[in-house]
Every structure is written in structure tokens, then in C-alpha cells.
Structure 1
Amino acid sequence: MGFLDKILGKKEALIQSNADFWNWFLKHEKEFFKIVKDRQNIHQDFFEKLAPKLDEIHSGIYFLTGMLDDNTVELILTPDGAIRNIYAIEELVNAAPKIEGWKITALKPASDIKDIGIDYEGFQFNKDNLRFYPNIHEGYPDEIDLTVIYDDFVEEKRQAIVNGVYIFLDNYLGELHSVTLIDNMKINGSNAISEELIPIEKLKDYLIWREKEFVEKYEGTRHNTENDSYANFEGKKQDGSIVLALINTTLIQWDKKASHPWIFIVTIPFDDCDNGGLPDEKTYKLLDSIEEEIIQILPDSDGYLNIGRETADNKREIFFACKDFRKPTKVADDLIKEYDGVFEISYEIYKDKYWQTFRHFESR
């Protein structure tokens, strides 16, 4: 150990893998256990040490902790509702060694509704003041669109109430179901409601029934894009810049869109090439190679359909519809690392069972 290391203390190595994280955690777990059990200086001596290490693994990993019983600390790792971070948490927890006195949990688990009472910004949320009804859309039969009614709703405090309801549902349904099973949700008061209201404790059974129905309807549904037709679209914006798109027109007309409900959009901005918002030849080839790389990793046979791409305003957007959300988010994170310093790649992933994102291509 060098002279400065002796004075300042040896700097801990950067966490670069899940194994690195758990090796670090094992060195401190007895200290952390005592801190949580004694409930002393938890924020300073545990949270402030754990948070930066989790951030080195993957940004956006949050956590909750407490005593599960007298001899067990539960550490819950949560994406706080961000779908893009779920895979990283699940992989991290799956890699955890067995640690005596600890229960490591991925995502907030479901709880018995009788035990849930949320107090958030002066509002209480429980099974007695929350009800719901489904909104049925004839043209979108697979859509799970809910209105949740909160008895003490105040319009001026809408955002606080919305947050409180989401926290309640995370605890009741479990975080994974809360963020993945419900397609759309509105929260209102009971004034002028004519629909029959359903007790909130029946929501879990309703969602399980709808999901089972959905899975059975589309089980085994695949689409081979090998013989699909594609069309080029070209347009101009008001500022004169050009918009180019290449779209799989066979897919856009497919009648089983809901079987691939996750929309995954990779955005790759590029330098202004003084070409009306379009790339130069060298950049164009590199963008195409990245797109091909993604398609190879996410093949249609595994449930990842490449709908096409759009190039305009100095960026390329690549469109996919997917059966699941975990692998695409992992692939995107890997791409961001691979092309760091070349492109500032970003991405979106969200549920859109009827691909309304691409509706404007259907009418062309």
C-alpha cells in the first residue's frame, strides 16, 4: 500500500459486474445487518454506502429495507416503476449468493390487501376508499384500461393522489404486475360516476383473468418477416428538412398486433452533415450496420419484429414490436456501452398493444 493510501485509505475498486457487487456486499453484510436491526444511522451508514455501488452496476436501482423477522433483514431492489431497469435488478438478485440473515428480493412483492394502508402527503389509501371499473373499447378488446375511483379525491391534489394510488397498487399487486399488466389507468373521484364500481380487492383476480385470456388467445403466435413487403416513405417538414422511412407494410396491416405488445424504439442521433438532417454516406453505413446488429440479436423467430426505421432531424429511429421487454432493454444498454463515444444512443420501451405509435404509416 502506497504512502497516500495509508493516509487517505485505499480506494475501493469500481463495481463492474454482479459478482463484484456481491463480493463487496459480503464484506459489509454483518455491519449492514446490525445497522438495520438496531435502526441507527441507517441512511448514513447503509443507504449512502449501498446506493453508489448499485449505481455502478446500473443506474435507476432503488431499494427498501427492514426486518422481516428478528433474525432476517429483507433488502428489496426496485426500479421504482421504470420498466427498462427490471431486467438488471432480476439478474442482480439471481446472482446473489445465499447470505445468512438476509432475504434479497427483486421488485416489491405483492401483499395481502388487508395489511395495506398507505399514508402519502396527508392522504390515506386502503381497500375501503378505492374502487375501480374497466373501460371497454370495442376496437381494442385486449386493452386493459381502468378507472380507479378514490373516495377522497381532490382535483387540486391530483398528482399526490395519483402517486398514492400507484404506491398502493405496487404493494397490492406486486411491482411487476402493477407496471406490466395495466395498459392505461385514470384516477378520479366518485362524483358523476354512473358505472358499476368494483371493490379494489377484486382487481387482482380481474387482472389475472384478463392476462390468462390474453396469453391463451395469442400463445404460439409468431410472424416470419422473410417474405414481407416493405415501402419507402419520403416527406418534407415545414422547415424543408427531409424525412425518410422504410416500413414493413405487411406487418403494419397484421391482425395479431397485440401478440407483440411492447414497442421498442432505438434512437441514434448523428452529427449535422449539412445534408438536410440526413446522414452522409459513411454515417449511413454505420447506422445500417447497427440496425442489422440489433436485428440479428432480436430475431422475429424469438418474438421481436422489426417494423422499420425513420431518419430525419439528424437522428435514426429503429422500430420494433416485441413479445417481452427484458431482452430489448438489455440489448439497448449493451449498445449504449458499445458505441459510447461514437453515438449517444437512447431508447424507449412501452406497452402499445395495437401499435398506435405507427398508425400514421397505415394511411400512407
Structure 2
Amino acid sequence: MSILKNIFAKKENPINSPADFWVWFQENEQAFYRVVKGRDKIEEDFFDRLAPKLQELKEGIYFLSGMMDDETAELIFTPDGIVKNVAFIEDLVAAAPSLKNWKFTSLKPAVDISRFNIRMNNYEFSKEKINFYAVEHPQYPDEVDLVIVYDDYTASDKAIITNGVYIFLDNLLGELNAITSIDNLSVIGPDEAAGTLIPILKLKDYLVWREKEFIEKYEGMRYDTEKDSYVGLEGTLENGMPLIALINRTILDWDAKASHPWIVRVEIAYKANENGFPDESTYQLLNQVEDELIEVLPDTAGYLNLGRETVDGNRDIFFACKDFRLPARVLEQMKMKYKSDFSLGYAIYKDKYWQSFERYKG
């Protein structure tokens, strides 16, 4: 039996927190370092050991690893584009111990993409093969809508090519910038292009310029919901179940929505009656959750409560936010606090003009 198998044969404690994870990693880091440096059986003796521990800690945390130099191994944690996991990864790396032969990085950093190419499934992704242009929307002037034009685009391999382009952009821009600076992105071939092509290496400068304009326009923008009017709405789902919504109608007419581009949808599943609604005690508890969220995510700090929907055993609570990190941290804590009462989940997505709420303006 190898030394590594002897090491890993002992019973390991469960991973319930970042602290647990780093205790476990420190117990094995010398063996892991030898594997990464030697590049021998790295999948079996490192990746296959690390992946289950990260999934035990939190679903949706991925990683890359390699040697930075002759003496330092780097471990990069990535949410693979899932916005709500960014803050968790940043906190995980912030809690990492200082280890002589390791560097821990949150999210994939930008690299000099002009110096190498990416090859996937017989396709090459390089600066020579990728261009872009921007689509302007007069009704949504702050929207960053990009069309990426790939020379070897084939419709039958759209998913493969799109994935390759996303990986290329992560390396060109850095993963965080790729997630936060682009609102919409599509990938096409040269025959479909409807704009003047710009070399992909100029994309970073273009995004810096757009971000500078955005900050100058909205810096310091705040909204006070105290005097807003909320309206009650009723509807029916296709399955016949009734829906009740309470929506901040005043804020939907605000002309600076883009200053709060991140939408947080809190999803609470509860035990419902025959009409899909909660009983009185559950109703009060749901309101308690919403009140707590409004207290810890105040409008003065950039977190605007847009309203809620209650239907068919589910209550969704909506916020428009200047940033996505605090809501993610708060909601992870709320999931634990109320796990014996509800199944609480959440989604975070970018909707700079709150287009997903147009249905409430009629």
C-alpha cells in the first residue's frame, strides 16, 4: 500500500465549515504538494480527494491546481460562473492558513492570453480567431450586450464552442470581471455578424471604459422606500392555483434601476393548505423572515425590497441590490437558522433594468 493510501485510510472528520476544511487540508498538504509538483496520479491522489471535501462543504465549488514556480503550488477555487457562490469562495480563501509551499486564490485570475491558445474538442480559441462587437439598446443605455464572433463557429457544436469562448474570456478578463462586467453575451460565426468586428484583445479596455461611465453616472445613488406604495395583486397559475403578490409599485417607475443591477430571489417552500397558502402561524413566520431580511439588507445600504409572491406552497421575496456578496452571506445564514421550519433557497442574477418585473407594471 502506498504512503498516500496509508495517510488517507484513517477516518476523517466531517467538513461542516471552512475551518474544518482547512484543518483537513493542512493534515494532508505535504502529500498533496508532492503530488502536484510531481504531476504523478494527480487526478487520483489529489483531485479525487479534494473534490468530495469541497462538495461536503458546499455544492458548486470547483478548483484548478498547478505549480506557480518550482517551489509553490497554486490552488484556485472557482464557482464556475455561479454568482451566489463568489462570496463563499472569497471567504474560504480569506480563511486559508499560510502554508510555505501553497498559494490559494479565489476565482480564476486574468492571464496574458496573447501568449497561449486554448484547445478543446478539436477547436482552438485564440486572439486570432475571436472578435467582438457591442449591441446598443437605446431604451437600456447602460446594458453591456456583447456578440462574440468565433471564426470556426459551427452550429452543431454551439455548446462546445460557447463553453470554449467562456473559458477564453475568464482567462482574458479574470473570472470576477467576466461575471460582473458583461450583462448579455452571445456567440456566433462570421457569416452572422451584424457589426464591425473588434479584436478580442481590446475587450478589456472597452469594459473598463463602460464601467467608468457607469460609476460616474450612478456613484452614490441611494433610494429610500419609506414613502413608497405597495399594491396587492392576484392571479392564477396554469394549474389553477391562486397567486397573491405584494409589490412595491412606486419603485418600478424609478429611472435609475441600473444602479441596483443584481436581483436576489429568496425562495421559501412551506407546508400549504389546499389552496397553496400557509396557515396563520406559518404566515407569521414567513413575514418574520422577510422582516429580518429587510433589516439586515436595508435600502440605505443598496438593497431594495421589491415585494413578494405567495403561491402553491412557495413564497418568493425579491430584492434589487447594488452588490451580490452580502445577500449571499446573509441567506446562507438564514438557510441554517430556519432549516427546521422551511426549505429556503435563493437565486442571484443580473437584470440591470429589472426586466423580469415588467409583468407587474401593467
Q: TM-score range by the shorter chain?
A: over 0.9
Q: Tell me if the contact between 1:116 and 1:172 (Cα under 8 Å) persists in the aligned partners.
A: no
TM-score normalised over the length of structure 1:
0.94
How does 1:275-354 map onto structure 2 within 5 Å?
A: 276-354=275-353
Cα deviation code 1:315-335 (max 9, x no counterpart): 111010000111111222222
CA distance in 1, matches of 2:355, 2:347: 15
Taking a change above 3 Å as real, the CA distance of residues 51 and 283 of structure 1, as seen in their structure-2 partners, is same
Secondary structure of 2:343's match? coil
Q: Tell me if the contact between 1:149 and 1:187 (Cα under 8 Å) persists in the aligned partners.
A: yes
CA distance in 2, matches of 1:235, 1:30: 60
Paired position in structure 2 for 1:110: 110
- Superposition deviation, residue 53 in structure 1: 2.0
- Superposition deviation, residue 102 in structure 1: 1.1
Q: Tell me if the contact between 1:131 and 1:149 (Cα under 8 Å) persists in the aligned partners.
A: yes
Structure 2: 5+ residue stretches without partners: 1-7
Kindly provide the amino acid, as one letter, of the partner of residue 20 in structure 1: D
- Superposition deviation, residue 239 in structure 1: 4.4
Q: Tell me if the contact between 2:272 and 2:279 (Cα under 8 Å) persists in the aligned partners.
A: no
Taking a change above 3 Å as real, the CA distance of residues 153 and 10 of structure 1, as seen in their structure-2 partners, is closer
CA distance in 1, matches of 2:236, 2:59: 38
CA distance in 2, matches of 1:354, 1:229: 20
Q: Percent identity?
A: 53
Paired position in structure 1 for 2:196: 196
CA distance in 2, matches of 1:241, 1:44: 50
Q: Does 1:212 align with 2:207?
A: no
CA distance in 1, matches of 2:276, 2:29: 53
Paired position in structure 2 for 1:45: 45
Q: Tell me if the contact between 1:110 and 1:173 (Cα under 8 Å) persists in the aligned partners.
A: yes
CA distance in 2, matches of 1:151, 1:15: 46
Paired position in structure 2 for 1:360: 359
Paired position in structure 2 for 1:5: none
Paired position in structure 1 for 2:60: 60
Q: Does 1:33 align with 2:33?
A: yes
CA distance in 2, matches of 1:340, 1:187: 41
Q: Tell me if the contact between 2:148 and 2:186 (Cα under 8 Å) persists in the aligned partners.
A: yes
Taking a change above 3 Å as real, the CA distance of residues 270 and 100 of structure 1, as seen in their structure-2 partners, is same
Cα deviation code 1:284-342 (max 9, x no counterpart): 11111111111111111111000000111221110100001111112222222222232
Q: Tell me if the contact between 1:116 and 1:171 (Cα under 8 Å) persists in the aligned partners.
A: no
Taking a change above 3 Å as real, the CA distance of residues 185 and 9 of structure 1, as seen in their structure-2 partners, is closer
How does 1:64-79 map onto structure 2 within 5 Å?
A: 64-79=64-79
Cα deviation code 1:63-97 (max 9, x no counterpart): 11111111111111111111111111100111112
After TM superposition, what 4+ stretches of structure 1 lie above 6 angstroms from structure 2? none
Tell me how large the CA RMSD over aligned residues is.
1.5
Paired position in structure 1 for 2:241: 241
CA distance in 2, matches of 1:20, 1:280: 39
Cα deviation code 1:147-188 (max 9, x no counterpart): 000001111111111011001001111110111111001100
Kindly provide the amino acid, as one letter, of the partner of residue 278 in structure 1: F
Q: Tell me if the contact between 2:149 and 2:193 (Cα under 8 Å) persists in the aligned partners.
A: no
Kindly provide the amino acid, as one letter, of the partner of residue 226 in structure 1: E
Per mean C-alpha deviation after superposition, the further-off stretch among 236-245 and 205-214 is: 236-245
Taking a change above 3 Å as real, the CA distance of residues 303 and 43 of structure 1, as seen in their structure-2 partners, is same
Paired position in structure 2 for 1:3: none
Q: Tell me if the contact between 2:266 and 2:345 (Cα under 8 Å) persists in the aligned partners.
A: yes
Secondary structure of 2:220's match? coil
Per mean C-alpha deviation after superposition, the further-off stretch among 340-349 and 159-168 is: 340-349
Kindly provide the amino acid, as one letter, of the partner of residue 273 in structure 2: C
- Superposition deviation, residue 238 in structure 1: 4.8
- Superposition deviation, residue 228 in structure 1: 1.2
Kindly provide the amino acid, as one letter, of the partner of residue 28 in structure 1: N
Q: Does 1:176 align with 2:172?
A: no
The count of corresponding residues between Structure 1 and Structure 2 is 355
Taking a change above 3 Å as real, the CA distance of residues 239 and 195 of structure 1, as seen in their structure-2 partners, is closer
CA distance in 2, matches of 1:349, 1:80: 14
Secondary structure of 1:350's match? strand
CA distance in 1, matches of 2:52, 2:266: 27
Paired position in structure 2 for 1:88: 88
CA distance in 2, matches of 1:120, 1:326: 32
Taking a change above 3 Å as real, the CA distance of residues 120 and 251 of structure 1, as seen in their structure-2 partners, is same
TM-score normalised over the length of structure 2:
0.95
CA distance in 1, matches of 2:21, 2:162: 35
Paired position in structure 2 for 1:15: 15
CA distance in 1, matches of 2:155, 2:41: 38
